[in-house]
Structures are given as C-alpha cells and as structure tokens.
Amino acid sequence: MECEVLENEIVYRGVADLNLGQTLDCGQSFRWEEQENGDFRGIAFDREITVRLKRGDLYIIGGKAEDNRLWSDYFDLDLDYGAIKRELSKLSPVLKSAAEYAPGIRILRQDSWEALCSFIISQNNNIPRIKGIIKRLCECFGDKTADGGYTFPSADKLSGLSVEDLSPLRSGFRAKYLIDASQRVSCGEISLDDVQKMPIDEARQSLMKIKGVGPKVAECALLYGMHRLECFPMDVWMKRAMAVLLPEFTIEDLGRYAGIAQQYIFHYSRMHPELFE
C-alpha cells in the first residue's frame, strides 16, 4: 500500500473497495460520526481522527506518523477485497448482487475489547440505542482526549465498577454482562489476545464463558474484534436472508471469507426488507 506520512496526517494512495459510509456505518462499529461534508470522525485505539476518502485516496487527518501501520490495519488495506468479491460472486448470483450493492464494505480490525462490549450491548437492541449506550459508556468512564472526545473504557476500568455504577448508561439487563466481561478479562481469566489466536471453536467456547455472550455475540466479537473472517454472525436478519436468498448454502459453503459475505448479505437484506414479507 503506497502511503504518504505527513505531520499530523497520513494518506494512503489508491485505496480500492472502500466506501466510508458502507464500512463505518454498517453495524460493525458504533462510534463513527459522519460529518456534513462526508468525512467521518471518531476514536479507535484511544486515537481521535477524521477520515476522508477523496478520489481513491484515504486521509487519516490527525493521525500520527507512528500510527501508519495501525490505521492501515484498521481499514484492512492489505487484504484484496476485489479478489474476494470475485471469488464469492462465482458461488452464487445472489452473492454477486449483494457484493455489488455495497462494494465498499470492509471488515475493520477493531479493538477486541471494544468489539466484545459493543456486541454484548447489541443483544435484543436496536442500532440507534446501541450507539447511545456506547456513547454514554465512553463519556462516563473513558478518558477525555485532547480533541474533546472520549476513549473507550478499558476492562480494568470497568472491573472496578458495580452494576449500579453503570445505571447512567440505561443499558438495562446488559449492565451485569458488561461487568462480568470486564472482570474476567481484567483478572486474566480470559485473554482476548490469546483467544484471537485460538482454533475457532476453542475461541468461541472461551468467549461464551462470559455471561451475556452466546453464539451470536461471540461470533461478532471474533469477526469484528479479532478479524476471524470465517465467522458468520447469525441474527434474525441473517436467518431470514439465508433461508430466502441462499437456501441451498451452508456457512461452510461460503469458505474462509464467510464473514465478509455475511456483511454483504446483511447490508443487502437490511436495505431490502420487502424481500422477506
């Protein structure tokens, strides 16, 4: 990936297969805010930046030179999504259509702890409210950045809190799940870095030891927080979508990039609810 590192800005030249809205506002991440001019502003890994895509060049405004690798990893710039789309498109015309509908989706390499918490919060919830709870979580317990934003609170920080301390979040029954997750991660019972490297079924079992983490939340944490691209979160939308759009396919049929296929199908299905009436 060709890139240019400036003072307080990083530019990646000729980025293909990326659309900021499709990637940052498709339900895998909940903390990016679109600006009036189409830029996205947000915080990841405790760094607050503005992201701009212009004529195929990706600008990380506010990005420090030493974070060059961090941001190219975050946007998964080393993976050839064009090749993956061609591979998936050969499997089924439906997959081809879904990929063509949102060709700029990428799977972010988010912080594993933030992704785990985000999808614990996501259960039996809707996206606007998920965003609100996460925003309050950061404002109440994260650290203020130099630019006025708030970082995502660490497991160590949350592990020192009680369920009542989380009441300002208005997260309902999920508060006790967040505390349980923070304690298990903070004390070392579960190392997310270790889970990331485990065989996939072992990784799933480890995450599901956390209260409030079942098959779907574990799958999301693995796909969006640990870049396990074979993972395939099955929510109510995906069950309907698979039954109606790809009835003869199993997850295994979709191969090692099933998670990417899942994002194309999920987005396509959410945008075409009439298909399932």
| Binding-site ranges for DNA (CB under 7 A) | 26-28, 122-129, 167, 170-173, 208, 211-218, 220, 233-238, 262-263, 266
Name the nearest CA neighbour of 22 among 124, 126, 99: 99
Q: Which residue has the tokens 């990005």?
A: 63
* Choice between 14 and 168, CB closer to DNA: 168
Q: How far, in Å, CA of 129 to CA of 131, rounded?
A: 5
Least spacing, CB of residue 5 vs DNA, in Å: 32
Which tokens go with 181?
Answer: 């997750």
DSSP 52: E
CB of 215 to DNA, least distance (A): 5
- In angstroms, the CA 222 to CA 208 distance is 11
Q: Which residue has the tokens 């503005």?
A: 50
Q: Which is nearer to DNA, 45 or 237 (CB)?
A: 237
- Smallest distance, Å, CB 173 to DNA? 4
Nearer to DNA, 94 or 208 (CB): 208
Nearer to DNA, 14 or 215 (CB): 215
Give the pair of three-digit tokens for residue 164.
């009542």
Considering only CA atoms, which of 183, 244, 234 is closest in space to residue 209?
Answer: 183
Residue 11 or 220 with smaller CB distance to DNA: 220
Selection from 80, 69, 73, 98 nearest residue 14 by Cα: 80
Q: Which is nearer to DNA, 43 or 222 (CB)?
A: 222
Longest CA span, the chain: 53
Kindly state the smallest distance separating residue 172's Cβ from DNA, in Å.
Answer: 3
CB of 270 to DNA, least distance (A): 8
Beta bridge partner(s), residue 9: 6, 61
Question: Could you tell me the smallest distance in angstroms from the CB atom of residue 161 to DNA?
Answer: 16
How far CA 17 is from CA of 90, 188, 235, in Å, comes to 18, 38, 26
